[in-house]
Structure 1
């Protein structure tokens, strides 16, 4: 008995060339899963090489139906089935305001961030159900909970992901396929690199993440641990849920702490 939490499981992780996706693919494999990793970037092959024989890399677009179907097919043909789908791929789309973003840009962000998870659920759920059930998880964001954490299109897309997993969980009733979302806060990944670089250049690196009670940004490995929980049997009664992993940011609207008579600690 190894005690590995995903022993014998087969998983797909999109957006696995870097950041949360790469960290999660490594953790899933370390916990016993065989993993199909995918990304639009060729760097996804580096992820697979670092994992070894338990990984298979495919370059593809998570927002295109044929590419998503190919991932499920690869999991079944190479590893014998599918138990876990992590629809993690996404783009930030920048911080353009309501009147500064074109309809074309808005649609492209929705295609990747929202239609991508929809396709992941649509194609993965039947394959997972054939194995007797399993887990689908999608990366949303605290930006999908309320305004103030991202651009208008990004925020709308992530709000859609949260509702999507709730709706899908209901539509998959009786299948033993669970569908949940993860809502990261500020995490140090390629998507947030410009924020970290700007703060460092301005001599304000120590202020990154100061709006949350932990007063720091998060790391991809911390999100990977949350993904592992939702992917594993440890979360067997968690379904249709959006798990917030943000250091406490979403527990309150931002405020100036000295106005609250904060006790010095």
Structure 2
């Protein structure tokens, strides 16, 4: 456990230093950015650090967005940071945000559909309304993002002479294998993966790539209750022990995966569900050190 924590500290240190121009001229929209320790905020910081022209930080809850904008403006003055408060599953609001980007900058290059909710509902305890709300926030929002962002990415200009773009959605290891989340959450994330894969084919020839990132257990605003409960029980050392990396992940690790999938270096990566889970989804449950 001590070795895993030492590695985590090293990772946190080295993630900050890398080339600063991989997103030059790119206009990016990220949903689900309000959590100060979340994947969305970490990705917004990284996109600004890599030279994006504009980054839209969006969320249904907005109590931290102004502070995030101030931090980014101060550290990355060359990048425009635009705050938008809306429900990612509200089609009209989503279209308005995308329209603002194309009206203002004449282009949209990256859309990271990261907004989502998590539940602990058992099938026996959840009702139809609970289930459909999870599907609405987690899956419908991705459908709408793909539908409308892809249209905007087809817009061309002198600065962007051909149709192109990258759409990324946050799925989950729970969408790959059962046992990593509640039934409604897992179903919604499986839907995200399938949406990404079918959309990649339906956008054939457009130059627009669609991919999903599948985090494992990441310390973020969404999962903080898990970490707090473990701390209260004195079992923090057991968090993340079910994967071969033997630790939990941090939002910055997902942000770097999101950066790769979003930028031109991943130009031949399309229609994939990309696990970033410490190896959790690499196998069925096993007894450590045993061959089954």
Q: TM-score, normalised by structure 1?
A: 0.94
The match for 1:13 is: 30
SS at match of 1:163: helix
Preserved CA contact (<8 Å) 1:209 1:216: yes
Structure 1 counterpart of 2:272, from 229, 241, 252: 241
Moved more, 134-143 or 44-53: 44-53
Structure 2, unmatched stretches of 5+, are 1-18, 74-78, 157-162
CA-CA distance at 1:45 after TM superposition:
2.4
Q: Distance in 1 between matches of 2:137 and 2:131?
A: 10
The match for 1:115 is: 140
Q: Is 2:87 the counterpart of 1:61? A: yes
Q: Distance in 2 between matches of 1:21 and 1:14?
A: 7
Q: Is 2:67 the counterpart of 1:46? A: yes
CA-CA distance at 1:44 after TM superposition:
2.1
Q: Is 2:218 the counterpart of 1:198? A: no
Q: Distance in 2 between matches of 1:78 and 1:221?
A: 29
RMSD: 1.3
The match for 1:78 is: 104
SS at match of 1:190: coil
Equivalences for residues 220-235 of structure 1 within 5 A: 220-235=251-266
Q: Distance in 2 between matches of 1:15 and 1:3?
A: 24
Aligned in 2, Cα 1:217/1:166: closer, same or farther, shift over 3 Å? Answer: same
Moved more, 74-83 or 179-188: 74-83
Q: Distance in 2 between matches of 1:236 and 1:3?
A: 18
SS at match of 1:130: coil
Preserved CA contact (<8 Å) 2:20 2:49: no
Deviation sequence 1:37-82 (CA, Å, 0-9, x none): 1001112222222111521000000011011101101212333320
Q: Distance in 2 between matches of 1:129 and 1:239?
A: 17
SS at match of 2:222: helix
The match for 1:124 is: 149
Structure 2 counterpart of 1:188, from 208, 212, 219: 219
CA-CA distance at 1:126 after TM superposition:
1.1
Deviation sequence 1:150-182 (CA, Å, 0-9, x none): 010000000000000000001101111000000
Q: Distance in 2 between matches of 1:220 and 1:151?
A: 21
Preserved CA contact (<8 Å) 2:57 2:65: yes
Query: What number of residue pairs does the alignment pair up?
Result: 258
SS at match of 1:155: helix
Q: Is 2:56 the counterpart of 1:36? A: yes
The match for 2:13 is: none
Structure 1, unmatched stretches of 5+, are none
Q: Distance in 2 between matches of 1:37 and 1:74?
A: 13
